[in-house]
Amino acid sequence: MTVGRFAPSPSGKMHLGNLFSFLMAWCSVRSAGGEMVLRMEDLDPQRTSAEFAAQIRRDLLRFGLDWDREVPCQSTRTAAYDAAFEKLEAMGLIYPCYCSRAEVHAASAPHLGQSEFVYAGTCRNLTPEQRASKKRLPAWRLRVPEAEWTVHDGLQGDYTELLSRDCGDFVVRRADGVYAYQLAVVVDDGDNGVTQVVRGRDLLASAPRQKYLFSLLGKPAPEYIHVPLLLAPDGRRLSKRDGDLDLDSLLGRYKPEEIIGVLAQAAGLIDKQEAISAKELASVFDWRHMRRDDICLTL
């Protein structure tokens, strides 16, 4: 059975781009008769709140996007992340990194076309004496192999990264003890029995890292489908800063079915722009009609 998930970070209100990814994830699961899981990704206590989580639940339901079970949120899952971390540590793959953010940036080149920096490996082979001489609390990085990892994305096709060149050893636990998204999401998707991950294309570059982590932890990786991003008319990516496209303000002007209709037509899923409920869209949903490239939207 297909098990999909909503994995919002309750760090703000949902915007149209989030809604679009969630709508696609939901239609994909419902059209396959599968199960939908809701997981609040509140890893970072400084940035997330129970109020935003409550609002996201309400907003999903306003658009008819329901779920079959809500699984424990990330802030309650430290023991599971500890266990995964210890497993990786026992494999000799984790090391402490004492670099500041500025040092990481100075020592690494931004990878072409990506906003992320590739870690140069500065702390990879420090001796115990060198480690002992450091004054700051370390972050913890995972060693990546000089090997290519390919993700067969359901929409974008094959996406390959040579992890050592394109990503570098990446942080799995921050210096303040908070686990990094990459580790937490893999442990959770594995434990929640997720078989299909549908999310924005901005996370495609994370998929090879996540597949690598799944293989180290001895679990099968889910199917990945990365959907186009929504762009404002001037080509910028829609973000939480686009106040007029936040859901409250849109719902003051349009019915949920009208908003779903605009998104569905822009995505290529229906021919005419017309009001349609999430349930009706799921009944005609077909990934083969879905656009791959980013969508410029005017509302």
Q: Give Dmax over CA atoms of the chain in angstroms.
A: 67
Among 141, 199, 211, 226, binds ligand GLU (CB under 6 A): 199
For residue 197, the SS3 value is: strand
Q: What is the DSSP letter of 179?
A: B
Q: Does 195 bind ligand GLU (CB under 6 A)?
A: no
The partner residues of 109 in beta bridges, in order of sequence, read none
Q: Does 24 bind ligand GLU (CB under 6 A)?
A: no
The answer to whether 238 and 260 are in contact (CB under 8 A) is: no
Q: Does 185 bind ligand GLU (CB under 6 A)?
A: yes
H-type alpha helices, the chain = 16-31, 50-62, 78-90, 101-106, 128-132, 163-166, 181-191, 207-217, 247-253, 256-266, 278-284
Question: CB of 199: closest distance to ligand GLU in angstroms?
Answer: 4
Among 3, 4, 9, 238, binds ligand GLU (CB under 6 A): 9
Q: What is the DSSP letter of 237?
A: B
Q: Does 41 bind ligand GLU (CB under 6 A)?
A: yes
Q: Does 222 bind ligand GLU (CB under 6 A)?
A: no
Give the sheet arrangement for strand 35-38, strand by strand: 3-6, 35-38, 69-70
Question: CB of 185: closest distance to ligand GLU in angstroms?
Answer: 5
Question: CB of 77: closest distance to ligand GLU in angstroms?
Answer: 14
Nearer to ligand GLU, 25 or 99 (CB): 25
Each residue 136-155 as x (binds ligand GLU by CB under 6 A) or -, in order, gives: --------------------
Q: Could you list the residues that contact ligand GLU (CB under 6 A)?
A: 7-9, 41, 185, 199, 203
